[in-house]
């Protein structure tokens, strides 16, 4: 067979033709036509070199087949663990006593249904002072899930019986003086890529409906130990992409004609609509930032390694992160303090302090802003400029900063694609990827297939460039506690997901179609406490996080 592939056609047809070429090579007696596929891989060999390749590639194929015959579970990670720590960076490990500055009293509303939209920091005071019970809260949220869950298409599994048992236990403990902290008795939901023993974990994807895993994720155990009440499992875009799952499209509570964005689709939608007090989401590349923006939630993407991923679906071992999606930044801090910490079952986790102190003067923080991005033309510029003025009115000096890079940032993104394809290799080779709802060109099925042609050498070299990127970003930003940026400005979202830095996204208004907009705060590695403190002061002064979508007020 003669395979002809020109450089011009390579970008569009290489996958199919390369497969034919390699197949023909494996069956050829005297010819190996790699000259036809070499342009795609940016290679050029002589005939003698091609001839010498034959036996090596045949050996590789045998190794591939041996690997394919071995059934790898998604839960098995890489033996190489990604480390985002740059040279000369020191992790603060000394944990001080946390001063939350919580109110001593919170007034109950005249209509108890209104507390569905109360932030965690207010619900915590109501529970501690016994003005409301966890059982009352749990029943309220469960009733709202039953009323609005189908409308928003944001719920996969309701865990009513176990939730009511957890709520009763919380009430009994609080009544007997055993108070576990601000999350005690607070009802919440989890993205359905986190496993609960004995409960279906679908990953939002049709091929995995009915999957029951034999473990409970570490983060859920931590929340249970803090006394939080798990209401159920929330939707995600299938295999953590977008807002399309096997049951439909999760909706934006502000506009039901829109999807909620994703992939933490149900986590953001249900929180903003008052179906849960807070939710847990995950981010690999925008999956907390994007749905939080679309739905008007406050979301915290933590530092890579801050929160254990044990029991979570793996998409990218070097980029996956788990964090809270809440009604306020203060809520995010309260949740983060519970879920953080080292876990022997996740080798990427680190011991690091979370030293939040409500008495810290934010004017003493060094705050940068990405001036070139804010001065560019983009859809949400007006709201962002107003937010910058609001920050300045708090007495904060904004220092211009440029984090742009000459490194091939977009090329390094192939690490995510390669890891995702490896995580779901069996799905691709079994052809069960055809069961996924979204079959568009950019969706997972085609992306996984294309990633099979990323050479290991290029993955490793991308990782080496990432090492330089981490160090470069650190050198440019090491003096700043907080960096203010448009949420989707330039390449900062990709950049900071690759470096592993935290991001806190907060609502800052609405666009001309009535949909929420946001602005983002970037932090130092393990610097979430400063982000939460800074964002809380902003939210205290602006109040955008208090807005409630009219369709769900009842």
Catalytic residue set = 191, 264, 287
Angle at 343 between CA 337 and CA 347, to 5 degrees: 125
Closest CA to 252 of 278, 270, 235: 270
Distance CA 443, CA 452 (A): 15
Report CA Rg, the chain.
Answer: 25
Segment 169-173 long-range contacts (CB within 8 Å, at least 24 positions apart):
170/127, 170/134, 170/227, 170/229, 171/133, 171/134, 171/135, 173/227
Q: Which residues contact 467 (CB under 8 A, 6 or more apart)?
A: none
Tokens coding 96: 């001080």
Closest CA to 82 of 528, 421, 463, 502: 463
What CA–CA distances, in Å, run from 311 to 197, 215, 240? 10, 7, 15
Q: Give me the DSSP letters along 105-147.
A: --PPPSSGGGGGGS-HHHHHHHHHTTSS-HHHHHHHHHHHHHH
Closest CA to 193 of 217, 214, 210: 217
Three-class SS state of 290: helix
Residue 107's Cβ-count burial label (10 Å; 0-12, 13-18, 19+) is exposed
Q: Given the structure tokens 């249900």, which residue do they identify? A: 270
Distance CA 360, CA 193 (A): 37
Distance CA 526, CA 376 (A): 30
Distance CA 206, CA 22 (A): 32
Q: If DSSP states are collapsed to H, E and C, what string results for 333-394?
A: HHHHHHHECCECCECCCCCCCCCCECCCCHHHCCEEECHHHHCCCCCCHHHHHHHHHHHHHC
538: left (phi over 0), alpha (psi -120 to 50) or beta: alpha
Distance CA 370, CA 495 (A): 13
């Amino acid at each position: 067979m003669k395979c002809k592939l020109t450089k011009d056609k390579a970008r569009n047809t290489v996958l199919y033709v390369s497969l034919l070429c390699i197949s023909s090579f494996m069956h050829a007696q005297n010819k190996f036509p790699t000259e036809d596929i070499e342009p795609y891989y940016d290679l050029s060999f002589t005939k003698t070199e091609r001839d010498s390749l034959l036996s090596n590639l045949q050996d590789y194929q045998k190794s591939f087949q041996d690997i394919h015959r071995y059934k790898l579970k998604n839960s098995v990670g890489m033996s190489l663990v990604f480390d985002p720590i740059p040279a000369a960076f020191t992790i603060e490990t000394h944990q001080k006593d946390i001063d939350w500055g919580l109110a001593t009293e919170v007034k109950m509303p005249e209509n108890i249904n209104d507390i569905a939209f109360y932030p965690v920091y207010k619900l915590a005071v109501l529970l501690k002072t016994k003005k409301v019970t966890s059982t009352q809260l749990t029943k309220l949220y469960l009733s709202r899930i039953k009323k609005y869950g189908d409308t928003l298409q944001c719920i996969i599994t309701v865990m009513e019986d176990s939730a009511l048992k957890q709520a009763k236990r919380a009430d009994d403990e609080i009544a007997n003086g055993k108070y576990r902290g601000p999350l005690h008795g607070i009802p919440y939901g989890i993205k359905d890529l986190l496993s609960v023993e004995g409960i279906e974990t679908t990953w939002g994807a049709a091929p995995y409906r009915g999957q029951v895993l034999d473990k409970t994720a570490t983060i859920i155990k931590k929340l249970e130990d803090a006394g939080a009440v798990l209401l159920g499992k929330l939707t995600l875009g299938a295999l953590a992409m977008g807002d399309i799952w096997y049951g439909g499209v999760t909706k934006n509570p502000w506009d039901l004609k829109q999807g909620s964005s994703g992939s933490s689709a149900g986590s953001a939608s249900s929180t903003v609509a008052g179906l849960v007090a807070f939710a847990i989401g995950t981010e690999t590349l925008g999956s907390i930032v994007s749905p939080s923006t679309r739905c008007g939630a406050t979301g915290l993407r933590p530092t890579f390694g801050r929160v254990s991923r044990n029991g979570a679906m793996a998409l990218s071992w070097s980029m996956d992160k788990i964090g809270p999606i809440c009604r306020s930044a203060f809520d995010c801090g309260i949740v983060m303090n519970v879920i953080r910490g080292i876990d022997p079952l996740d080798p990427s986790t680190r011991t690091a302090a979370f030293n939040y102190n409500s008495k810290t003067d934010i004017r003493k923080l060094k705050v940068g802003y990405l001036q070139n991005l804010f001065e560019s033309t983009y859809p949400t510029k007006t709201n962002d400029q107003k937010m910058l003025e609001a920050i300045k009115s708090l007495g904060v000096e904004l220092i211009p900063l440029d984090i742009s890079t000459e490194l091939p940032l977009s090329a390094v993104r192939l690490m995510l694609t390669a890891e995702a394809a490896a995580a779901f290799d069996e799905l691709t080779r079994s052809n069960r990827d055809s069961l996924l709802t979204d079959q568009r060109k950019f969706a997972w099925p085609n992306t996984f297939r294309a990633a099979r042609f990323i050479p290991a050498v290029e993955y490793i070299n991308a990782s080496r460039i990432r090492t330089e990127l981490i160090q470069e970003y650190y050198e440019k930003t090491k003096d700043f506690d907080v960096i203010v940026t448009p949420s989707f400005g330039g390449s900062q979202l990709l950049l900071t997901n690759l470096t592993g830095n935290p991001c806190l996204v907060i609502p800052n208004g609405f666009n001309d179609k009535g949909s929420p907009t946001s602005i983002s705060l970037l932090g130092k590695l393990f610097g979430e406490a400063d982000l939460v403190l800074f964002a809380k002061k902003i939210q205290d002064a602006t109040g955008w996080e208090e807005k409630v979508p009219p369709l769900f007020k009842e």
